[in-house]
Amino acid sequence: MEKRSRLRYGMVGGSLGAFIGGVHRRAIALEETADLVAGCFSSQNEKNQKTGQFYGIGQDRIYKNYQEMAQKEKEREDGIDFVCIVTPNATHYEIAKAFLEAGIHVACEKPLCFTVEEGQELEQIAKEKKLCFAVTYTYTGYGMVKFAKELIEKGEIGQIVNVNAEYLQDWLIDEIGGGDQTTTKMSVWRTDPEKSGISNCVGDIGTHIEDTVAYMTGLHPKKVAAVLDCYGMDLDLNANILVEYENGVHGVYSCSQVCAGHLNGLVIRIFGSEGSIEWVQEDPNYLKVTRKGQPTQIYNRGTGCITGMAAKLNHIPSGHPEGLTYAFANIYHAFMQEVLDQINGETGDGQDYDYQDVSDGVMGVKFIHAVVESSQKGAAWVEV
Amino acid sequence: MEKRSRLRYGMVGGSLGAFIGGVHRRAIALEETADLVAGCFSSQNEKNQKTGQFYGIGQDRIYKNYQEMAQKEKEREDGIDFVCIVTPNATHYEIAKAFLEAGIHVACEKPLCFTVEEGQELEQIAKEKKLCFAVTYTYTGYGMVKFAKELIEKGEIGQIVNVNAEYLQDWLIDEIGGGDQTTTKMSVWRTDPEKSGISNCVGDIGTHIEDTVAYMTGLHPKKVAAVLDCYGMDLDLNANILVEYENGVHGVYSCSQVCAGHLNGLVIRIFGSEGSIEWVQEDPNYLKVTRKGQPTQIYNRGTGCITGMAAKLNHIPSGHPEGLTYAFANIYHAFMQEVLDQINGETGDGQDYDYQDVSDGVMGVKFIHAVVESSQKGAAWVEV
Amino acid sequence: MEKRSRLRYGMVGGSLGAFIGGVHRRAIALEETADLVAGCFSSQNEKNQKTGQFYGIGQDRIYKNYQEMAQKEKEREDGIDFVCIVTPNATHYEIAKAFLEAGIHVACEKPLCFTVEEGQELEQIAKEKKLCFAVTYTYTGYGMVKFAKELIEKGEIGQIVNVNAEYLQDWLIDEIGGGDQTTTKMSVWRTDPEKSGISNCVGDIGTHIEDTVAYMTGLHPKKVAAVLDCYGMDLDLNANILVEYENGVHGVYSCSQVCAGHLNGLVIRIFGSEGSIEWVQEDPNYLKVTRKGQPTQIYNRGTGCITGMAAKLNHIPSGHPEGLTYAFANIYHAFMQEVLDQINGETGDGQDYDYQDVSDGVMGVKFIHAVVESSQKGAAWVEV
Amino acid sequence: MEKRSRLRYGMVGGSLGAFIGGVHRRAIALEETADLVAGCFSSQNEKNQKTGQFYGIGQDRIYKNYQEMAQKEKEREDGIDFVCIVTPNATHYEIAKAFLEAGIHVACEKPLCFTVEEGQELEQIAKEKKLCFAVTYTYTGYGMVKFAKELIEKGEIGQIVNVNAEYLQDWLIDEIGGGDQTTTKMSVWRTDPEKSGISNCVGDIGTHIEDTVAYMTGLHPKKVAAVLDCYGMDLDLNANILVEYENGVHGVYSCSQVCAGHLNGLVIRIFGSEGSIEWVQEDPNYLKVTRKGQPTQIYNRGTGCITGMAAKLNHIPSGHPEGLTYAFANIYHAFMQEVLDQINGETGDGQDYDYQDVSDGVMGVKFIHAVVESSQKGAAWVEV
């Protein structure tokens, strides 16, 4: 059989106008190696139809619900190779499970799900069925984050001794005081436990800190001591978290959605015995590296100084900014490569399929639960 | 007849792996409203075939040369609506002419062509045939450049009194001294008059300064006094240009490809009697605005402070960087809207099809010629 | 009696070449209103003599020890008006006490002393004897810190909801692992409990965070939960501290002397319900202010936008950087004004003698003790 | 005779409250090695007296005019070693001449004088009488400017190929259109030819560009082609200047006092065949250095990476900002050292008395004249 060079994918969620679905579709389009051929874009029939038609999807592959989609696509010879799940958080678990059980690879928005048990179940199924399962933690897709990881692995900053990371936004500042002023649809579900689970801010953005730090350094929190602030809402809008890693090193994570002037301020600073690294999401094409006793250096995406995966994933010349959509594309690049290799029966020996998977997703859920529990216990240390 | 909602396009140049062709294709993909259905991607047959096949283009629409493509596509009922020209600069003129004469709308990389006469001929044909003709001056596509234009038009910085703009790169620094060290394919043609015309640096990036300033302010140079430096090469690698605009105001433009540490440093600063505006391409999601006597303000793409076209062309939430590819997409957004409106017989009354067109392309060619002539005359003033 | 317009001062510590003594002397010199007339600059006789002679001090006023100096100066008709104490931390208490008991006003380097009891005793004596007592917390002297305080007091950022402050340095990075490599004299005493008390990093720089935040916002920590890292040394080199203020609001303070690339990185960010303020010590002439929903504004020292105390204490035109020494000078400006007013029998009604005093010094000592205790108890909350 | 270790100086101009006189006095005070003992601080008697008394100057050394001062100080055994001239520009020449003729060393504000002939006369007298003559071009006093000079001299950026320097301010923006709104005393004399000579903006700040570039690189303009803008005033408020150096390399200088948002924006960028250097006056403790093909490096005053004169002139630890006053102090440091060495009969062999002198002052005057002449001739090239 001839080897495949393109993939077919379907989408659950992501009707026209929906933000995150559009980002996933465009990211996959930037890769130019997969075609959208099936979908269940909305529970509202009209929206669903309109979206499917816009993308030229055959009428028989615009599905009324995800169960039907999983079943039918499984049965087709030309069924989708993977599904992209971009629905509200509360539904990730059941949808992912359905497609896994249908033997279809999964790319799912974060957070993976609400409970650790759900996550572990998904992990288990994926493992048993040897299915690829990406959890699209956006920021690990940036080339300069990959370069940071490489420098740290090479020992360029020595032993890690301290981590200081934050993710500050301000878009929920009007919720302070209880939110009579709540005006946006998104702010409503973000702060609604039914839709967002046990945490808003930590679940939404705090997990990105955890994941990006873990990706860069290999360090996962062993225990956390956290203070969450709700400012009169049901869920957290702000969090400060002391962290102890498996190796005894400490760090501090801060996340917030009420910090005026900060739009999407993920800032990761890793301090080692020989130097430090700083990456700022709003300026993602740069990496600040200081070797002990040397001037700070500003590494720039796309230049000859960049090596490894970050060099391979360079798309446009240095100085021409690559933005968030390319970070997503990089995740899909790795995920889709693994899917393709599996389909083609290639072992992918020695290949690093460099994306965050279902285990990283489970880690995120564990982190959220530990942080929330710690805060409820007055910032007592809680094991992750 | 039913109104069309999608467009068909073809590409000349842009085989797999070519940089700028890939950017155009991806930019169009981000818009999600046009399909690549024909192409003449390379004069090398194998490359051409491979590229066409990769994009699933029917064998009959992978053309051996652009002449045949223009002719055949003209004859098809389902022929391309527009062509995207991403070939080496020396060939833009003849290719654009062929497609215009076939009645096909054109999007062409800059510079439009080598001589003013060629440009004016293209302008004339497009006008007579009522064809849309975009020249893809990338930087006018950025939302914050559009916002700068809007603020200036509204009089927020008063009367313009001074312009200071630069575009500094360093990728040709090794050409200094005559270029024994010339190693890259691109550096070879950039500094070869046959391939780059009468100017390298001014032609390649100086015109971006001219165009972006003109777009923001409406000011075109009336005359220029310029010093070009070749450092032993045949063509310029560095230029400093005094400018006098139509209204008597002065400015200064600097462009260079030998400035170590500057990758793609287009910086536009417009000074008015009531304030100033600064935009930096390497940090394109921000705009620095100072009203006289007030603190400098940092406007941020995607926030509620942004209005007009810049607000409409917002793709991902504020703080999540949009990069160069989105700037390109914004240009295609406007161009393709006009093409579609024309096809659908819509007048587009009152609509601002906000893209740089063939006239802007001609202006760029005039600018290059005036600058080169001034330098040859020892920085004498030369009318543009 | 004629009113005095100049002051006489003496110094304990601060021999030629000593860093902090020189800063104090120069700061006072910038004010141009006080003369150095007495001193006990060193316990080493030769150094002491040489320093006194360099400054043209009469032989009878170069003292062998501070006790004699306090006694003799007290007895002179032209005795010093105030003493400036710039000795090692371990000796502040006894020296300050001696001069207070001699009825002489005191300006003392921070930390004020080692135990809360010592501090409260000094506070009590100063109060009883109506003596001025400055503790020179440098950073409150910067004009833009004063402007931040003013904006916050005026309610420009609304109710404070979150504080995020850090003070990162890297000069002790070589102590990691136990410090065989210890090379500098200063690093030795900084990490020696006899000389630095119960804390190194928190005592040295963490207290600056506490003091600067308290100065800007009026908020003092009610309780703290802290993790200190010693990396094999006797005293802390790194600390992350969760803070709860008297009003229930939370914050987080991080200080470190092992963060490569950070030299003197005091950064204070105050977040309110209506906006935020950020001040960066290494760029001290600027203040970043964001009003909710508005672009971030960069306020600049010396411009017409600056009001209040910050405007009064402007020394050189905007854009011409004022550095650390002027921050010190501003502290002495206020302290010396109060001393002068008291000498002249003026009530200073309504005058804000804007400097940190012995009570602020006591607060600093309390903060250190609470942080250290918390860390010893595994980051348990400890009342300050 | 015992060697002297301290100097005595007098001041012409600089009454209480005058800006630049105060900066000079404080800068000298930071050095701690000279005493103000004589002065003619103002032509207004009361002001003069009050200032002299404030500084504790004997009644017989508060002079009514500079002629008397030069004469009397010359005759005293304990006469001043040097005079500091901080009067309006129009008077520098005659005052400097008087003191030189009295055999007294001179430190004079810039510009040195109005005509090249005056300047050369002063140069001649100083040379004949072997007198030290500093012209206080502030910016050459900054440590990081000295470090830039050192790196360039060492060849770290190779052969210089391009210079781009600017000095932008905005404090005269209200003069645009003719200045009905003229409100400040300083703006009046700045734009008055009687008081400011043939140029305002170029004379005031353009010369700083010329001097700082020349100091860093050793390159003096051979010829210039300039456009000056007066916007309805008698003198220039804005200038763009093409420069050709003695070695044929080109550069561009821009200076302005109408650029909103720029306070004291002197920015020097030197581009070489092997790298580049950038220094920004508003952030003076840093130096940006890029070696070809390497990441940009940020050098920081006071760190171990800094060598040479910049290391020697380090006053406070790295990260603690040194401001403008220290730049002045560094100039006086070198000037006063030479004066002292001369008084003590020391040859100062091999010592680099690192300050700008009367020859640099003459160069500045030449530059102003060439620029103004070029502008009058329609930006024709004019020899400097």
Subunit contact D295:A297, Cβ cutoff 8 A:
yes
- Please give the sequence-ordered ranges of beta strands (E in DSSP) within chain C, or none if there are none: 7-13, 34-40, 82-86, 105-108, 133-135, 160-168, 221-229, 238-245, 250-256, 265-272, 275-280, 286-291, 296-300, 382-383
Question: What are the tens digits of pLDDT across the range A18-37?
Answer: 989 999 999 999 999 999 99
Q: Does domain A142-316+363-383 have CATH number 3.30.360.10?
A: yes
Closest C-alpha to B28, from B109, B84, B87: B84
Subunit contact A260:C291, Cβ cutoff 8 A:
yes
Subunit contact C323:D319, Cβ cutoff 8 A:
no
- Please give the sequence-ordered ranges of beta strands (E in DSSP) within chain D, or none if there are none: 7-13, 34-40, 82-86, 105-108, 133-135, 160-168, 221-229, 238-245, 250-256, 265-272, 275-280, 286-291, 296-300, 382-383
Whether cis (ω within 30° of 0) applies to the bond prior to B193 is: no
Subunit contact A297:D296, Cβ cutoff 8 A:
yes
Residue in D161, D162, D225 nearest the CB of B225: D225
List strands edge to edge, sheet with B7-13: B34-40, B7-13, B82-86, B105-108, B133-135
**Residues C366 and C198 sit within 8 Å (Cβ to Cβ):** no
Q: Does domain B7-131 have CATH number 3.30.420.40?
A: no
Subunit contact C264:D23, Cβ cutoff 8 A:
no
Structure tokens at A373: 């529990």
Give the pLDDT band (50/70/90) at residue C185.
low
The DSSP element (H or E) to which A168 belongs, if any, is strand A160-168
Subunit contact B300:A263, Cβ cutoff 8 A:
yes
The DSSP element (H or E) to which D118 belongs, if any, is helix D116-129
Backbone phi, then psi, for C279, in 5-degree steps?
A: -130, 135
**Residues C338 and C356 sit within 8 Å (Cβ to Cβ):** no
CATH of domain C143-308+363-383: 3.30.360.10
Closest C-alpha to A188, from A171, A202, A203, A205: A171
Give the pLDDT band (50/70/90) at residue C309.
very high
Closest C-alpha to A154, from A216, A211, A208, A213: A216
Subunit contact A378:C379, Cβ cutoff 8 A:
no
pLDDT for res D288: 98
pTM: 0.96
Residue in D281, D300, D320 nearest the CB of C324: D320
Contacts of B308 (CB under 8 A, 6+ apart): B146, B147, B150
From first CA to last CA, the distance across chain C in angstroms is: 47
User: Residue A181 pLDDT more than 70?
Assistant: no
- Block residue for tokens 């020394």: C315
Structure tokens at C240: 């992350």
* Chain A: partners with 3+ C-beta pairs within 8 Å: B, C, D
Residues of chain A with CATH 3.30.360.10: 142-316+363-383
List strands edge to edge, sheet with A105-108: A34-40, A7-13, A82-86, A105-108, A133-135
pLDDT for res C205: 97
Subunit contact B299:C300, Cβ cutoff 8 A:
no
Distance (Å, whole) CA C312 – CA C306? 9
Average pLDDT over residues D144-158: 98
| Mean pLDDT of chain A, nearest integer | 95
* Chain C: partners with 3+ C-beta pairs within 8 Å: A, B, D
Closest C-alpha to A275, from A288, A296, A292: A292
User: Residue C256 pLDDT more than 70?
Assistant: yes
Residue in A29, A263, A325 nearest the CB of B319: A263
Q: Based on C-alpha coordinates, what's the Rg of chain D?
A: 21
- Block residue for tokens 């040479």: D308
User: Residue C191 pLDDT more than 90?
Assistant: no
Structure tokens at C231: 């990396």
Contacting residues of D for B276, CB less than 8 Å apart = 170, 259-262
Subunit contact D169:C319, Cβ cutoff 8 A:
yes
Q: Largest Cα–Cα distance of chain A, in whole Å?
A: 65
Residues of chain D with CATH 3.30.360.10: 141-317+363-383
pLDDT for res A271: 98
The one-letter amino acid at C238: N
Residue in D30, D263, D303 nearest the CB of C319: D263
- Chain A CA closest to residue B24: A30
- Chain B CA closest to residue C293: B304
* Residue A124 Cα, gap to closest chain D Cα (Å): 44
DSSP string covering C304-373: TT--HHHHHT--S-TTS---HHHHHHHHHHHHHHHHHHHHTT---TT----S-BHHHHHHHHHHHHHHHH
Contacting residues of A for B319, CB less than 8 Å apart = 169, 262-265, 281-282
Give the pLDDT band (50/70/90) at residue D184.
low
**Residues C133 and C122 sit within 8 Å (Cβ to Cβ):** yes
* Residue D149 Cα, gap to closest chain B Cα (Å): 17
Contacting residues of C for B299, CB less than 8 Å apart = 295
pLDDT for res D349: 72
DSSP string covering B316-369: S-TTS---HHHHHHHHHHHHHHHHHHHHTT---TT----S-BHHHHHHHHHHHH
Subunit contact A252:C252, Cβ cutoff 8 A:
yes
Structure tokens at D150: 């050192």
Contacting residues of C for A287, CB less than 8 Å apart = none
Subunit contact A295:D304, Cβ cutoff 8 A:
no
Whether cis (ω within 30° of 0) applies to the bond prior to C321 is: no
Subunit contact D295:A294, Cβ cutoff 8 A:
no
User: Residue B189 pLDDT more than 90?
Assistant: no
Percent of chain A whose pLDDT exceeds 70: 96
- Please give the sequence-ordered ranges of beta strands (E in DSSP) within D231-369, or none if there are none: 238-245, 250-256, 265-272, 275-280, 286-291, 296-300
Backbone phi, then psi, for C151, in 5-degree steps?
A: -60, -40
DSSP string covering D360-380: HHHHHHHHHHHHHHHHHTTS-
* Residue A180 Cα, gap to closest chain B Cα (Å): 20
ipTM: 0.95
User: Residue A184 pLDDT more than 70?
Assistant: no
Q: Count helices and strands (H / E) in chain A.
A: 13, 14
Contacting residues of C for A170, CB less than 8 Å apart = 276, 290, 292
Which of A335-349, B318-332, D35-49, D121-135 is the least confident region? A335-349
From first CA to last CA, the distance across chain A in angstroms is: 47
The DSSP element (H or E) to which C93 belongs, if any, is helix C92-101
Neighbouring C-beta atoms of residue C181, cutoff 10 Å: 11
Subunit contact C297:B296, Cβ cutoff 8 A:
yes
Distance (Å, whole) CA D261 – CA C208? 32
User: Residue A187 pLDDT more than 90?
Assistant: no
**Residues B343 and B5 sit within 8 Å (Cβ to Cβ):** no
Average pLDDT over residues B289-314: 96
User: Residue B190 pLDDT more than 80?
Assistant: no
CATH of domain B143-316+363-383: 3.30.360.10
User: Residue A38 pLDDT more than 60?
Assistant: yes
Contacting residues of B for D242, CB less than 8 Å apart = 225, 227, 240, 242, 379
Neighbouring C-beta atoms of residue D271, cutoff 10 Å: 29
User: Residue B178 pLDDT more than 60?
Assistant: yes
Residues of chain D with CATH 3.40.50.720: 7-131
pLDDT for res B184: 57
Which of A276-285, D306-315, D346-355 is the least confident region? D346-355
- The 3-class secondary structure across B42-57, one letter per residue, is CCCHHHHHHHHHHCCC
* Residue D146 Cα, gap to closest chain A Cα (Å): 17
Neighbouring C-beta atoms of residue B32, cutoff 10 Å: 16
Strand partners, C12: C40, C85
Question: What are the tens digits of pLDDT across the range D286-339?
Answer: 999 999 999 999 999 999 999 999 999 999 999 999 999 999 999 999 999 999
Distance (Å, whole) CA A167 – CA A259? 10
Structure tokens at D271: 């581009």
pLDDT for res C197: 87
Contacting residues of D for A303, CB less than 8 Å apart = 293, 295
Average pLDDT over residues B185-204: 79
Contacting residues of C for A229, CB less than 8 Å apart = 161-162, 250
Give the pLDDT band (50/70/90) at residue D183.
low
Residue in B32, B282, B318 nearest the CB of A319: B282
Put residue B312 in one of left, alpha, beta given phi > 0 → left and psi -120 to 50 → alpha.
alpha
Subunit contact A19:B283, Cβ cutoff 8 A:
no
The DSSP element (H or E) to which A251 belongs, if any, is strand A250-256
CATH of domain D141-317+363-383: 3.30.360.10
